[in-house]
Amino acid sequence: MTAAGTEAGAPGRDGTWEPHPAARWEDAFLGGNGRHGAMVYGDPADDRVIVNHHTLVRPNGSEHARPPRLADRLEHLQDALLAGDTTAAEQFGAEHPLLWVQPFHPAFQTRVRRVTSPVDGRSGTAGYRRSVDFATGEICASHEDWRSRVFVSRADDVIVQCITGIGLTAELILDHALPGAPPRLAIGRSTALTADGARLALRAGYPDSDLAYTGVTVARVDRGSVTVSGEGIRIDGARTLLLMTRVRRHTGDLDLAAEWGALPHAEYETLLARHRPPHRTAYERAGLTLRAEASERNMPGSELLHHPESPALLERLFAAGRYHLLSAAGALPPRLTGLWTGDWDTAWSGAFTTNANLNLQIASAAAAALPEVSEAHAGLVRGQLADWRDNARAIFGTRGIVAPSHTDGESGHTRHFQRAYPLHLWTAGADWLLQPLLEHAETSGVTDPWLTAALTEVAQFYEDFLTRHTSDGTLVVVPSYSPENRPANASWGTINATMDIAAARHALTTAAGHSPGHPAAGRWRALADRLPRYRVNEDGALAEWAWPGLQETYDHRHLSHLYPVWPLGVINPYDTPELADAAHRALELRGAENDSAHGHLHHALIAARLRDATRVSNALSAVLAGDFFHNSLMSAHYPSRDVYNADAAHALPAVVIEMLFQSTPDRLVLLPALPAAYPSGELHGVRTRFGAHLDLSWSAGSATAVLHPTRDARVGVHAGERLALTEVATHSSAETSAGTPVALLNLTAGVDRVLTMRPR
């Protein structure tokens, strides 16, 4: 197969292409190394690359805010809520202003404008092509004698661009004037000619702050001449222009000579050769192939998006989702916008919204063989634990840790106070955010000591916080909050949200399990046993609040109360069938509210755990047919490509994986919720939580799974409802006779096992 970025041939499933340059920044092709991000327009006449960096957040005053001291008022609030005052929580912290975290923003764009150009790429000139190769991260655009190639180096942490053309004459500028840029940015520039080109720098000082960011670019030309021109340089008669760009956020001034000098001095092909191995190795660990028509697989992305029923579309979006997720995760996990934005007015500050969005975006990391994403998430959590301790002490008067619902990546302090969204009352956040790291530990077989310590701190919080109980000794979670919903007959801050109960039980039992010798382990288990049982309401649905009298609000985008189903898996069709039925009823009754992409895909993840292929298919269709994807294959938050947002793009691979296989440390489920629209395909290289790599293929009602164990394990195996396990074999011998369902499978590290499934 020819790679997408080579411009010859079709992109296949590992890339995408367009027959015209991007007209909007939302359609720019994306590259990234988890620190720097690039957005590539690919216009021959005005070649723009927007430069992003994970650390670029604009000071807005919130960076100095600390969680307010509310702990001395907590007992009064608990008394009021337990006495039936359904609005009591509205005054808890109401005097504090709503502070959004520091907004994420772009740095600038490198802009190469040809002085004379016969090409107007926007008109779709015949022969133009723009492509991105997911396997290498290289973005190419070409027309006639002009060619531009861009990648963001994992080896050298630099954005590299090479433009070639006969007699290239153009002007280069570092252009800060992107949409929404504050008018009071203090802009300074520096340009110095060199023997083979020039060095450029742009410094932008934030208003009312001593913080700034500086971008440095080294331009090298082959043949031709370079002169200073206005705020940039002019290149005349060159054959090749090579740009290397890096950006830093800092205080004071930078030593520009040192910054320029730190950029690598090498040719484009040498730099690309250093970058390819780490990127390709990560991307190619896993992949999806579906039975797709060659004609559809060869379509440009913008055309393929008009075929939402095509397996080729799901195949390409799966690949694009893994590519973008890998590219956005490094110094930090992906933001609401991944690692990219072309506008300073980023929705919801371009933050990490932790009560749903972040976990949904990284949901595939462990299974999709992207430990780089899990490690980036671990870095965010580990770096904020001190702030989480401040939240616990200041707001709740406890030991341990409490996570915020929003962070800019710098501060983990809670400072979001709003009557309609009292996010400071959310106590489940630490457990919710540690769960992906537990899955990573189970997949890799290695648990970092700091993670065990963090689990202990979550348990300590609950040990101090869970002090109220009913007359029979059952604990009460008060105050309690189910993001971002409210009961139909009460305010947002209330009692016994199901998510809070699930998080407390999971945190206490998990901490005890990871530290069995801890002096408090027995107390934690006893405390977990006293938590309320999940409640089934009068509709037969798992209730969002396990407190008498609280009525459901079904039409909501969040599904926080189904946390026990996904990702925890403590409610499932195998061990708790009655509760699984109640959870399924809750899913049936749930509306889509404002059609947020994350709501649809969250719905699909839960439906897959409950073995409902129809609901998975419907939720996927709502996103695939809802015009959620830009031509870049990055997604939007709402239909009609409204609000640039990475939730759908990054969460979609997790949905595909969950409908094809699921695993726990002692269970494997094969094809639990396969939609009829995808009757055959292959999923290779995915990881299980019991320590095995999995290759899965299915066609015409049968399927084969090959397990490559990395450690010994004993697992129960389940197949989809219309399939029966008919054979389990090593390389040399069958372990069960045909037609016998397999309840348990013993795995030995290094010895492959083959599982065959046939229609029942």
Q: State the CATH number of the domain containing residue 86.
A: 1.50.10.10
- Identify whether 617 is part of a domain: yes
pLDDT of residue 11: 58
Q: What is the pLDDT of residues 336-351, one digit of tens each?
A: 999 999 999 999 999 9
What's 148's domain CATH number? Answer: 2.70.98.50
Please report the sign of the dihedral spanned by the C-alpha atoms of residue 478, residue 479, residue 483, residue 485: positive
Above 90 in pLDDT, residue 738? no
Above 70 in pLDDT, residue 2? no
pLDDT of residue 723: 81
Above 50 in pLDDT, residue 746? yes
Same domain, 283 and 319: no
What is the 3-class SS of 466-515, one letter each residue?
Answer: CCEECCCCCEECCCECCCCCCCCCCCCCECCEHHHHHHHHHHHHHHHHHC
Q: What is the pLDDT of residues 679-696, one digit of tens each?
A: 999 999 999 999 999 999
Q: Which of 655, 685, 716 is the last residue of a domain?
A: 655
Above 50 in pLDDT, residue 497? yes
- Identify whether 298 is part of a domain: no
What's 735's domain CATH number? Answer: 2.60.40.1180
CB 316 within 8 A of CB 606: no
Q: Rounded to whole angstroms, how far apart are CA atoms 191 and 169?
A: 19
- Identify whether 299 is part of a domain: no
Burial degree of 437 (CB within 10 A; 0-12, 13-18, 19+): buried
Question: What mean pLDDT is predicted for residues 552-559?
Answer: 94
Domain coverage including residue 500: 62-102+312-655
Q: Rounded to whole angstroms, how far apart are CA atoms 140 and 129?
A: 8
Same domain, 380 and 403: yes
Question: At 8, is the pLDDT very low, low, confident or very high (cuts 50, 70, 90)?
Answer: very low
Same domain, 271 and 325: no
Query: DSSP states of 542-589 as a string?
Result: B-SB-STTPPP----S--GGGTTTTTS-SS-TTT-HHHHHHHHHHHHH
pLDDT of residue 420: 82
Same domain, 130 and 273: yes
Q: Which of 232, 260, 290 is the last residue of a domain?
A: 290
Q: What is the pLDDT of residues 226-255, one digit of tens each?
A: 999 999 999 999 999 999 999 999 999 999
- Identify whether 307 is part of a domain: no
> Which of 7-11, 164-168, 318-322, 402-406 has the least mean pLDDT?
7-11
Same domain, 203 and 267: yes
Task: Residue 497: count other Cβ atoms within 10 Å of its Cβ.
Answer: 33
Question: At 3, is the pLDDT very low, low, confident or very high (cuts 50, 70, 90)?
Answer: very low
Q: Can you list the pairs that 619-625 forms with residues at least 24 positions away whose Cβ atoms lie under 8 Å?
A: 619/655, 620/314, 620/652, 620/655, 620/675, 621/308, 621/309, 622/592, 622/595, 623/597, 623/648, 623/652, 624/308, 624/309, 624/313, 624/314, 624/317, 625/308, 625/309
Place of tokens 């699909």: 604
Q: Which of 596, 623, 655 is the last residue of a domain?
A: 655
Reference 579, options 541, 539, 612; nearest CA is 541
Pairwise pLDDT comparison (166 vs 435), residue with the higher score? 435
Above 60 in pLDDT, residue 627? yes
Percent of the chain exceeding pLDDT 70 equals: 95
Query: Which amino acid is located at 693 in the chain?
Result: H
pLDDT of residue 538: 97
Same domain, 76 and 162: no
- Identify whether 301 is part of a domain: no
- Identify whether 139 is part of a domain: yes
Count how many domains the chain has.
3
pLDDT of residue 457: 98
Q: What are phi and psi of 658, to 5 degrees?
A: -65, -30
Q: Which helix (H) or strand (E) holds 207?
A: none
Same domain, 198 and 159: yes
**What does the block give as tokens for 192?**
């110095």
Strand partners, 201: 190, 216
Question: What mean pLDDT is predicted for residues 565-580?
Answer: 97
Q: What is the pLDDT of residues 91-113, one digit of tens each?
A: 898 888 888 999 999 999 999 99
Pairwise pLDDT comparison (692 vs 126), residue with the higher score? 692
Q: What is the pLDDT of residues 305-326, one digit of tens each?
A: 999 999 999 999 999 999 999 9
Strand intervals (E) in 120-265: 129-133, 138-143, 146-152, 159-175, 186-194, 197-205, 211-222, 225-229, 232-251
Same domain, 485 and 372: yes
Question: At 122, is the pLDDT very low, low, confident or very high (cuts 50, 70, 90)?
Answer: very low
**What does the block give as tokens for 469?**
């109980």
Place of tokens 């320590």: 691
Please state the pTM of the whole predicted model: 0.95
The per-residue pLDDT of the chain, averaged, comes to 94
Q: Can you list the pairs that 38-41 forms with residues at least 24 positions away whose Cβ atoms lie under 8 Å?
A: 38/139, 38/150, 38/151, 38/152, 38/159, 39/106, 39/340, 39/342, 40/130, 40/132, 40/139, 40/141, 40/148, 40/150
Residues 6+ apart with CB under 8 A from 456: 511, 514, 515, 518
Same domain, 605 and 702: no
Query: DSSP states of 7-64 as a string?
Result: SSS--TTSEEEESS--SSGGGSEEEE-SSEEEEE---SSEEEEEEEETT-B---SGGG
Same domain, 444 and 549: yes
- Identify whether 390 is part of a domain: yes
**What does the block give as tokens for 116?**
């004379």
How many angstroms separate the most distant Cα atoms in the chain? 86
Above 90 in pLDDT, residue 727? no
pLDDT of residue 759: 85
Strand intervals (E) in 254-302: 287-290
Q: Rounded to whole angstroms, how far apart are CA atoms 39 and 340?
A: 7
**What does the block give as tokens for 386?**
């001190």
User: Do strands 352-353 and 287-290 pair parallel, antiparallel, or not at all (unpaired)?
Assistant: unpaired
Above 60 in pLDDT, residue 589? yes
pLDDT of residue 742: 56
Same domain, 534 and 420: yes
- Identify whether 303 is part of a domain: no
pLDDT of residue 10: 42
Q: What is the pLDDT of residues 353-402, one digit of tens each?
A: 999 999 999 999 999 999 999 999 999 999 999 999 999 999 999 999 99
User: Do strands 46-53 and 36-40 pair parallel, antiparallel, or not at all (unpaired)?
Assistant: antiparallel
Same domain, 281 and 400: no
